[in-house]
Each structure stands twice: as C-alpha cells, then as structure tokens.
C-alpha cells in the first residue's frame, strides 16, 4: 500500500486526528446526558448553588452539557486544520481546566451555573489535560520528499549541449534526444 506524501514540506499533523476523537467523545457525552434527562437550565449565579441530575455518578445540568458539547463542537470545527486544532485544543483545554479547578474549590458547581461534583470535575480535568498535551504536538516528517516512498532524488541537469553529456534517462522516465 503506497502512501502519498505531500511535497509542501509541512509534514503530517499529530494533533488533528486525536483532537477530532476528543471532540466526538465530548459531543457524544453531552448528547447522551441530555437524552438521559440532564436538561435543567436553572442557574443561581448570585447565591452560587445549583444542583443537577446524577448520571453515572456525575452531577450534570443543561448548562454543564452546553459547556461540554460546545467545547466538543469547537474542537470538531477546528480539527481539519493543524493550527486551528492546536489553538482550539489549547483554548478549550484551558476553559475545561478552569471549570474543573473552580468546581473542585466550590464542591457543588461552577459560578452557580454549571452543576458539578467531584467526578464531573475529574472528567473535565482529564479532558483538559489531554487537550493541553494535544496542543503541544508538532508536525512530523518535515522535509522535501519527491516520491511516494520517501526517497529523495537528485536533480538531473537535462540540458543537452556540446559540453554537456546526454543523460540516459530523465527523472520522468523519458529518453533525452540529442538536439545538435
């Protein structure tokens, strides 16, 4: 099976695929939780205490799922491009990390809007850590590759003249004719 190597010298992105996988996981979790009944959109930012429905030990409300699903959608939109995938992985990782730390400190919610408990904080923290690592991944395989198998070819001078020898075969497979 031959692999096509791009000849633009940029290499292959290590961030795009894993960012898309994390995005799909976040979106799927949000959709499943919303379908399971975490649909309360109550918020108490002044008093700072909001409760949600417990699903698989996670305390969730509608706003928590908007945060999780929105993060997944942003990542999914940025996943096709290397720089956008890395940038959005960094931004979303920082936001989910901040939500995790705030919910660990408050122990009930984030700013009285997003319901959370210890397991919810752990889930956001793990997602944040994975995204921050993905934001640091580089491109690999940089360099000029002239064919699909990664072999570099030397440049052949195919100009024919009285002081230049005639090459037997050109890199394209054509025979050169004597032009004199």
Tokens of 24: 């799909």
pLDDT of residue 9: 57
User: Is 137 exposed, middle or buried, given 0-12, 13-18 or 19+ CB atoms closer than 10 A?
Assistant: middle
Pairing of strands 12-13, 53-55: unpaired
What is the SS3 assignment for 28?
helix
- Dihedral sign from CA coordinates of 147, 153, 159, 160: negative
pLDDT of residue 4: 47
pLDDT of residue 35: 85
5: Cβ contacts below 8 Å, ≥ 6 apart: 141, 145, 147, 148, 150
What is the SS3 assignment for 59?
strand
d(CA 173, CA 158): 12
pLDDT of residue 74: 93
d(CA 161, CA 158): 10
Please, are residues 156 and 164 in contact by the beta-carbon 8 Å criterion?
A: no
8-state DSSP, 58? E
Q: How far is CA 158 from CA 52, 144, 169, 180, in A?
A: 74, 21, 9, 14
Per-residue pLDDT of the chain (180 residues; tens, 9 = 90+): 445 444 455 778 788 889 999 999 999 988 988 888 777 777 767 676 777 777 777 778 888 888 889 999 999 998 888 888 899 999 999 999 999 998 888 877 788 778 788 888 888 899 999 999 999 988 887 655 554 555 554 555 555 555 655 555 555 545 555 555
pLDDT of residue 89: 93
d(CA 177, CA 164): 13
């Amino acid at each position: 099976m031959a692999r096509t190597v791009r000849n633009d010298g940029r290499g292959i992105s290590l961030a795009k695929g894993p960012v898309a996988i994390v995005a799909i996981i976040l979106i799927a979790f949000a959709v499943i939780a919303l379908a399971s009944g975490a649909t309360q959109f109550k918020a108490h930012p002044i008093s700072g205490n909001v409760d949600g429905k417990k699903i698989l030990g996670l305390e969730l409300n509608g706003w928590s799922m908007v945060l999780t699903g929105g993060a997944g959608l942003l990542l999914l939109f940025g996943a096709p491009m290397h720089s956008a995938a890395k940038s959005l992985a960094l931004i979303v990782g920082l936001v989910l990390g901040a939500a995790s730390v705030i919910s660990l400190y408050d122990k009930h919610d984030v700013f009285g809007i997003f319901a959370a408990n210890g397991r919810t904080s752990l889930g956001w923290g793990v997602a944040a850590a994975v995204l921050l690592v993905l934001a640091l991944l580089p491109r690999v395989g940089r360099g000029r590759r002239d064919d699909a198998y990664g072999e570099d070819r030397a440049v052949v001078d195919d100009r024919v003249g009285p002081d230049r020898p005639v090459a037997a075969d050109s890199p394209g497979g054509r025979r050169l004719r004597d032009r004199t």
